[in-house]
Amino acid sequence: MSFLLKFFKRQMNFSKRLKSKVGYIQKILEDDIYLIGGQNMIDEIFERGQRVSSEFFIDTVWVKMLVTDENGVFDTQVYNVVFEPAARTHWHAHPGGQILIVTRGKGFYQEKGKTARVLKPGDVVEIPPNVVHWHGAAPDREFVHIGMSTRVHLGPAKWFGPVTDEEYKSAVEEK
């Protein structure tokens, strides 16, 4: 009888350890991080690009220009943006509008005076011209999106100052 009891206890402990490891692996896959040789390896389509000025961003943000449209053929600029955890844009608006396509991580988008929206891979945000908004990473996760500024002949983005820590915390609470 004690042999069977010991056997079942060992099986239950094994099951608990296995569930714990499966949960850990699932979390890694959800975050798009693969552990190889003890190092975090990020699955990136584009290189990080240039670290951008803190004049328009809070914390560390990287931008890789993909289409600069210097000749005005497309009237659109396309760029890949990587936000480190808690990094975000300042409040801003694009005279010609903007489109965001989320490729990795977890982020937020908020229009002035509205509730923040959680963003995850595959989400697309269509931002009409001159809508004041911000977007950026969750407090604990990196966030990556492809951005498209449309009808760029109407002018560059207009900036309206930082998203305060209080505004950010309020937007990301319990989401």
Domains identified in the chain and CATH numbers = 2-42 (no CATH), 50-172 (2.60.120.10)
Average pLDDT over residues 165-172: 94
pLDDT band at 66 (very low <50, low <70, confident <90, very high): very high
pTM, rounded to two decimals: 0.75
| pLDDT tens by residue, 8-54 | 566 666 555 555 554 544 554 444 444 333 334 445 678 888 998 78
CA-to-CA distance for 152 and 69, rounded, in angstroms?
Answer: 9
Residue with tokens 């990287």: 62
Nearest to 89 by CA among 55, 128, 45, 58: 58
List the single range of 6-20, 24-38, 68-82, 128-142 with lowest mean pLDDT.
24-38
